[in-house]
Amino acid sequence: MGLIGGIMEVLFGNGRNVLTETAAAFRENAEAGAEREARLKGQAMSQFAAEFAHPRKGWFDRLIDGLNRLPRPMLAFGTIWLFVMAMTDPIWFAGRMQGIALVPEPLWWLMGAIVSFYFGARHQAKAQEFQQSVAATAAQARDVSERVRAVEALGLGASLTEGQSGPATPDPNPALDDWRARNHD
């Protein structure tokens, strides 16, 4: 009993707990961590409360507060509007999307960084080779303009009725030709 009692006295005697003290060197005390976190949150809430303790009454403060509330709804409603336009006027929508295809890649990176930082995200863009991207975009300009002309030609052909003359477009769908022949005879 003397040996075990002596070991216990070394480990837990004199108001100390050697095991707990040793474990604390390797793992944070959960209770102390929770107290620190609660104290930190309390200080942050006090800071926020102090910021908004005095109501802003000037027209400038109200204007800036209103402007700060606009980007999110504008982005959401703008995206919904693009979906509506894609369904109601696909020719117009296709022309605009061809224009977006000409935006150089560094500008997309810049737009992504601005939007990411605005919404509080931490975004770090990788370095882009600007001249290479501009050259690639310029190389696409002719293809994009040809696609825009093709889309506009589709819109012109669709607006013509059967009685009007216009550019004849061959029907590349033999099954549709057969169906028309059977149903319009």
Residue 109 and residue 49 share a domain: no
Residue 149 and residue 93 share a domain: yes
Kindly report the CA angle at 158 between 156 and 164, in degrees rounded to 5? 80
Alpha helices by DSSP H, 89-119? 90-100, 105-118
Q: Between 60 and 53, where is the model more confident?
A: 60
Range(s) of the domain holding residue 111: 89-158
pLDDT-based confidence at 24, cuts 50/70/90? confident
Domain assignment present for 167: no
Domain assignment present for 15: yes
Residue 156 has pLDDT above 70, yes or no: no
Residue 166 has pLDDT above 60, yes or no: no
Q: What pLDDT is recorded for position 33?
A: 85
Residue 148 and residue 97 share a domain: yes
Among the listed ranges 28-42, 46-60, 61-75, which one has the minimum average pLDDT value? 46-60
What's this model's pTM, rounded to 2 decimal places?
0.35
How many separate domains does the chain show? 2
**What mean pLDDT is reported for the chain?**
77
Q: For the purposes of burial, counting CB atoms within 10 Å of the CB of 151, is it exposed (0-12), middle (13-18) or buried (19 or more)? A: middle
Residue 99 has pLDDT above 80, yes or no: yes
Domain assignment present for 181: no
Residue 163 main-chain phi, psi, to 5 deg: -80, -20
What are 115-151's pLDDT values in tens digits?
777 766 554 445 456 666 766 777 777 888 888 888 8
Residue 15 has pLDDT above 80, yes or no: no
Q: What pLDDT is recorded for position 84?
A: 94
Mean pLDDT of all residues in 7-30? 71
Residue 95 and residue 45 share a domain: no
Mean pLDDT of all residues in 67-74? 84
Residue 45 and residue 94 share a domain: no
Residue 67 has pLDDT above 70, yes or no: yes
Most confident of 14-28, 71-85, 137-151: 71-85
Give me the half-sphere count of Cα atoms (radius 13 Å) on the Cβ side of residue 99. Answer: 6
Q: What is the dihedral of CA 30, 36, 42, 47, to 10 degrees?
A: -140
Q: What pLDDT is recorded for position 21?
A: 72
Residue 42 has pLDDT above 50, yes or no: yes
Binning the chain into helix, strand and coil, the percentages to the nearest 5 are 75, 0, 25
Domain assignment present for 130: yes
Residue 48 has pLDDT above 50, yes or no: yes
Domain assignment present for 124: yes
DSSP 126: P
Residue 144 and residue 97 share a domain: yes
Domain assignment present for 43: yes
Domain assignment present for 137: yes
d(CA 128, CA 133): 8
Domain assignment present for 99: yes
